[in-house]
């Protein structure tokens, strides 16, 4: 098929001036901080209460991701446009893309086809500079930490127990483990305290997590002060507040904390703000952005948001962390799947995705059913399935999925928003409205007062369907220390492969008879959760053999090619 690329489609549409987009939702020109013609910062709301909003929140999530792609953002954008076409005042609330995936393998995160957010080049590249501000704040804290040790170490920090890493918004495996502070040159200049060090990608830093969970500038400052940067020689935590760093860090973030307003190809408003990964962080856009969207649509409209990767990661953390802390509640959860991805979970290799295979499709549906079961029965929420249409999907396969959903009383709609924009999502939007108006009662996978070990077990058993879970000796020691230090009642942020319900990326579908192993536990006290690392998950991705950056270029007129 002769198809336009995403960037070609995006460049074929003339955006509306962002002031017009904002004015339709009651935001005055003087309240906008403009970043050119098509981007703006929205004012922070200081007195907004979620309970005052009659808007309904739609959470878009997916089955476990595959090389075939599922299209959460594309579905989110197209659904937002379609709801507006039906007459509902609707705003999308999304995460900002990280430069790492943009130049790595995954590509951009502004949707695709005729369901995109624009200006897509700006959004996928530096946007309004929020990520750079987050990285600068993180690295200022590390610099102050190392300087404190060099300048006498009044806090008696144990240099072998520093928990904070430097950050950069790029996939760079070379920086995962380094030695810093080494003297250099014939003069033997002292560059600092020699210690083992490392980098993680900016989006998994605790500063990013705090940025996305803070509710105001004052709350941001308090949370930054709570960051545990190291332990002293007596084994007690040392915080950013102890280093007197949180004030200066907040200064670096004072502009970034305001949410960003852009638009879809059809001129529908989209708020994009924050961007933590869902496999190694909590994977949701900022609380401030979501609440701002609910404020703009409070007279009976809709807010469509998404959580990263599969529902076992992004949606679980959206509910157990973000909803719990912010007071928001989805009225409906849309689980996105594709025929191709379902067949992948049924054992089909990439070169056979376009071949009809009902046996593999039926087997792969087990992955979808487990996600549906979790949303409905663990979390008590309304769930429905959106099948994202691809050109090679056969009618027989689509009808097979439709009938299987019907036999389980799971609402189902086909989405063609990639190809047709809002027109391809009208039936999906109608079903979303219908399901969103059904009653539901939000539940959580665990209680905060439960011991850390019981919360870990609850996620492993209820969400992943593991037979058991175990802690390495190091993780057990860390667990005991965290509870002794008063962190035992924090929620859990599980760091796990996105490709499987298990901690083994090769176990597709709905694996059974497996053990989940927790290899490390660490506190993100400012963000307000405990990170549990499983399997071989890492916090600094690497580049592929042929990274996407190799295909990205610009001509002498400034036209960018290769973004997707």
510 is catalytic: no
H-state helical runs in 163-235: 206-213, 217-225
Please work out, in degrees rounded to the nearest 5, the angle formed at the alpha carbon of residue 116 by the alpha carbons of 318 and 114. 130
Q: Pairing state of beta strands 178-180 and 529-534?
A: unpaired
Catalytic residue among 390, 412, 514, 529: 390
How much of the chain is in helix, strand and coil states, percent to nearest 5?
40, 20, 45
72 is catalytic: yes
369 is catalytic: no
Q: Pairing state of beta strands 492-495 and 412-415?
A: unpaired
Q: For 471-515, what is the HEC assignment?
A: ECHHHHHHHHHHHHCCCCCCCEEEECCCCCCCCCCCCCCCCCCCE
Catalytic residue among 39, 89, 106, 455: 106
Catalytic residue among 39, 56, 72, 166: 72
Catalytic residue among 61, 74, 239, 305: 74
Catalytic residue among 39, 56, 95, 322: 95
H-state helical runs in 170-297: 206-213, 217-225, 246-253, 287-296
278 is catalytic: yes
95 is catalytic: yes
**Exposed, middle or buried: residue 422 (CB in 10 Å: 0-12, 13-18, 19+)?**
buried
179 is catalytic: no
390 is catalytic: yes
Catalytic residue among 103, 277, 412, 418: 418
Catalytic residue among 211, 277, 302, 309: 309
Q: How far apart are CA 386 and CA 82, in angstroms?
A: 14
H or E segment at 302?
A: strand 302-306
318 is catalytic: no
Q: What is the dihedral sign for C-alpha 97, 101, 103, 107?
A: negative
Q: In 63-140, at which residue ranges do the beta strands (DSSP E only) sit?
A: 90-94, 111-112, 115-118
**501 in Cβ contact with 514 (< 8 Å):** no
Give the pair of three-digit tokens for residue 430.
């109608």
Give the pair of three-digit tokens for residue 506.
């090769």
**280 in Cβ contact with 537 (< 8 Å):** yes
Catalytic residue among 110, 278, 311, 460: 278
Catalytic site positions: 72, 74, 95, 106, 278, 309, 390, 418
């Amino acid at each position: 098929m002769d198809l336009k690329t995403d960037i070609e489609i995006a460049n074929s549409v003339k955006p509306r001036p962002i002031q017009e987009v904002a004015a339709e939702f009651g935001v005055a020109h003087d309240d906008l901080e403009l970043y050119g013609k098509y981007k703006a910062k929205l004012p922070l709301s200081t007195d907004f209460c979620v309970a005052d909003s009659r808007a309904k929140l739609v959470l878009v999530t997916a089955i476990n991701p595959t090389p075939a792609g599922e299209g959460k953002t594309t579905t989110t954008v197209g659904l937002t446009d379609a709801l507006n076409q039906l007459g509902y005042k609707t705003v999308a609330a999304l995460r900002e893309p990280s430069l790492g995936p943009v130049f790595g393998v995954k590509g951009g995160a502004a949707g695709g086809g005729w369901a995109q957010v624009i200006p897509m080049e700006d959004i996928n590249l530096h946007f309004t500079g929020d990520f750079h501000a987050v990285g600068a704040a993180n690295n200022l804290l590390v610099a102050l930490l190392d300087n404190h040790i060099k300048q006498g170490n009044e806090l008696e920090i144990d240099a072998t127990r520093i928990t904070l890493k430097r950050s950069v918004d790029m996939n760079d495996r070379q920086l995962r483990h380094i030695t810093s502070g080494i003297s250099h040159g014939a003069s033997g200049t002292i560059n600092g305290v020699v210690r083992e060090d490392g980098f993680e990608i900016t989006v998994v830093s605790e500063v990013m997590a705090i940025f996305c969970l803070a509710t105001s500038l004052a709350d941001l400052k308090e949370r930054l002060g709570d960051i545990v940067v190291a332990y002293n020689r007596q084994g007690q935590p040392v915080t950013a507040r102890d280093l007197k760093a949180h004030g200066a860090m907040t200064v670096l973030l004072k502009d970034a904390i305001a949410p960003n307003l852009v638009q879809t190809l059809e001129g529908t408003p989209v708020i994009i703000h924050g961007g933590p990964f869902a496999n190694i962080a909590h994977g949701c856009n900022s609380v401030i952005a979501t609440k701002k969207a609910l404020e703009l649509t409070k007279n009976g409209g809709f807010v469509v948001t998404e959580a990263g990767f599969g529902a076992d990661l992004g949606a679980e953390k959206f509910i157990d962390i973000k909803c719990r802390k912010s007071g928001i509640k989805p009225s409906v959860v849309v689980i996105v799947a594709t025929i191709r991805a379902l067949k992948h979970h049924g054992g089909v290799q990439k070169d056979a995705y376009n071949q009809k295979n009902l046996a593999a499709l039926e087997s792969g549906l087990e992955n979808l059913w487990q996600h549906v079961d979790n949303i409905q029965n663990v979390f008590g929420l309304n769930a429905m399935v959106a099948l994202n249409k691809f050109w090679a999907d056969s009618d027989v396969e689509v009808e097979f999925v439709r009938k299987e959903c019907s036999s389980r009383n799971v609402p189902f709609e086909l989405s063609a928003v990639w190809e047709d924009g809002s027109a391809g999502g009208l039936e999906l939007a109608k079903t979303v409205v219908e399901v969103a108006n059904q009653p539901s009662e939000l539940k959580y996978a665990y209680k905060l007062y439960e011991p850390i070990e019981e919360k870990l077990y609850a996620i492993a058993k209820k969400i992943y369907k593991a037979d058991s879970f175990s802690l390495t000796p190091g993780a057990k020691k860390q667990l005991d220390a965290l509870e002794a230090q008063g962190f035992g009642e924090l929620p859990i942020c599980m760091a796990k492969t996105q490709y499987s319900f298990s901690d083994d990326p090769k176990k597709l579908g709905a694996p059974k008879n497996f053990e989940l192993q927790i290899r490390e536990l660490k506190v993100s006290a400012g963000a307000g959760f405990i990170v549990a690392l499983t399997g071989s998950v890492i916090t600094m991705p690497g580049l592929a053999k042929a990274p996407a950056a190799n295909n990205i270029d610009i001509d002498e007129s400034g036209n960018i090619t290769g973004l997707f």
